[in-house]
Amino acid sequence: MDYRALGDYHVHTRYSDGEGEVEECVERAVSLGLFEIGISDHLVPPGLGEAGSYGIAPELLDSYVADVQGAAARHPEIRVLLGVEADYLSEYEHWLRETLCTYPFDYVIGAVHFVGRFAFDNESVPGHPGWPDADAVYRAYYEAVACAARCGLFDVIAHIDYITVWSERPTQDIEAFEDAALEAVAGAGTTIELCTSGILDWPGLMYPSARLLGRAHDLGVPLIIDSDAHEPGQVGLAFDQGVAAARAAGYETTVRLSDRNFVSLPLA
């Protein structure tokens, strides 16, 4: 697999819920031959308690930025970008806007990991008792994704159908909710990602589904391929499968975030 056209922009380190150092992730990207790598640890609003404990500790934000910038200076053989994966919760939009202005991020990935205060991907955290049924949770999830796209704070929307990691399934057809969220993304001109590490989650599929990816292509939504690595060895994870899935959906190009150019996807 020829990685030279690709970047991996969704990578976590020990600054949030990843296991490795920034340096190790960059070295892995260099060994694969990636064109560039972006580090994107979690930025989580304050006040979410245990459910939000996976974010960068506020007192470590300066070190995070300095560490990524230091790696960039030490590795002229690859571009190292300073990113962040910021949680979108509508009531924290003002906080997020202020926080993002404080740091020189090259790009911001927006993610919905909560529906209201319900952390649907962490069932060890008590669920929100206010949801009447699974259908309401799915609907609210996709409405939050649409709001995230429209708020204008994000360059990329993460794992757009991440709600499928939840153990509950909707009882009604949710394609209309999915499509409405995707249309909001398209209308906002935001990029989405094909998130390869979905193959490590239950039920073992990349995000988004083949149907949504094809729909995204038809709507003209730009695409990047990301690992969402949580350890250095996962940088570039299954990118051959990601490229094949993107091509099957009709994509021939990906976006390079350092200069926002479209570059050809390699032939997997």
Interacting residue ranges for Zn ion, rule: CB under 5 A: 85, 111, 158, 228
Q: 41-65: b or e for each residue (b if 16 or more CB lie within 10 Å)?
A: bbbbbeebeebbebbbeeeebeebb
Q: How many CB atoms lie within 10 A of CB 234?
A: 22
Q: Which residue, judged by CB position, is nearest to Zn ion in the bound state?
A: 111
- Pick the closer one to Zn ion by CB: 61 or 158: 158
User: Considering the complex, what minimum distance in angstroms separates the CB of residue 10 from Zn ion?
Assistant: 5
How many angstroms from the chain centroid is the CA of residue 210? Answer: 17
Instruction: Identify any residues that bridge with 207 across adjacent strands, giving them in sequence order.
Output: 195
- Pick the closer one to Zn ion by CB: 171 or 178: 178
User: Considering the complex, what minimum distance in angstroms separates the CB of residue 113 from Zn ion?
Assistant: 6
Q: Where are the alpha helices (DSSP H) in 115-237?
A: 134-150, 175-188, 210-218
User: Considering the complex, what minimum distance in angstroms separates the CB of residue 173 from Zn ion?
Assistant: 25
The one-letter code for the residue type at 221 is V
Q: What token pair was written down for 76? A: 């002229």
User: Considering the complex, what minimum distance in angstroms separates the CB of residue 159 from Zn ion?
Assistant: 6
- Pick the closer one to Zn ion by CB: 79 or 113: 113
* DSSP element (H, E) containing 263: strand 261-264
- Pick the closer one to Zn ion by CB: 111 or 257: 111
User: Considering the complex, what minimum distance in angstroms separates the CB of residue 12 from Zn ion?
Assistant: 6
- Pick the closer one to Zn ion by CB: 156 or 158: 158
